[in-house]
Amino acid sequence: MARWTRDQLLLALNLYHQTPFGKQHSSHPPIVKLAERIKRTPSAVAMKLSNFTFLDPSEGGKGLSGASKTDREIWDEFQGRFEALADASEPLLSPESTPPTGPTEIKALVKQRRHQSFFRKAVLGSYGNRCGITGLSIPSLLRASHIIPWSESEEHRLNPSNGLCLSGTYDLAFDQFLISFDQDLKLVISEQLKSEKPNHEITRLFLEKEGSKLLLPEKHLPDSACLTWHRTRLKN
């Protein structure tokens, strides 16, 4: 079998960031799909993801130790550089991988969409496509919520650890600093939300869930510093 190309490795690294360790096997549908796309076997793709797992310091030595020199080079090049990874890998997933050459506004819009696509796939994949508060598992109703908003931190824009998987109502409440999570990842309700005129829906959706623990992702745990930033901005 021919050596892996750079494009193949980029697509595998893209998939790695949305695939928990327990799903890095040859029958996992996204792995099968990528294998078909790059003309590799599902077992080879699964093994490559396990090589990246071994190189990932956050995974604590899991995975397979047989990473090649090019595996290590790709990992080192993009470690912690999620925007660069999205720019390099997301176009390869499009029917046309050639970047747009039109006006600056068009290119910027395409780039932003690619970034948002990468972030959403990584966050939802890490949470197994379920809301971290309710467990709701209908992908079309789920959002990849930024902990530190997109506009506030360029550094964390595409970092999956700056993301939570939340269903629509909770995403909006989180975005408006009406809810957050404490250092133990338990749901915190803002004083402003508590002061709203009590009604059944507020009680059911929020007050009854106060103190419940976030359903943890299998990959990319929430960054504690990002959560502290968010929590200090809860509305009183």
The tens digit of pLDDT for each residue in 7-17 reads 999 999 999 99
Measured at the CA of 194, the angle between CA 190 and CA 195, to 5 degrees, comes to 115
pLDDT band at 111 (very low <50, low <70, confident <90, very high): confident
Q: Could you tell me which of 97, 94, 93, 49 has the C-alpha nearest to residue 75?
A: 49
Largest CA distance in the chain: 66
Q: Are 175 and 145 in contact (CB under 8 A)?
A: yes
Report d(CA 79, CA 75) in Å as an integer. 6
pLDDT exceeding 70 applies to what percent of the chain? 94
Mean pLDDT of 112-136: 95
Report d(CA 164, CA 124) in Å as an integer. 8
179-181 and 187-189 beta bridge pairing: antiparallel
pTM above 0.85, yes or no: yes
pLDDT at 95 over 50: yes
Q: Which residue has the tokens 């910027």?
A: 108
pLDDT at 42 over 90: yes
Report d(CA 35, CA 7) in Å as an integer. 13
Measured at the CA of 122, the angle between CA 148 and CA 218, to 5 degrees, comes to 95
Report d(CA 163, CA 171) in Å as an integer. 11
**What is the model's pLDDT at position 97?**
47
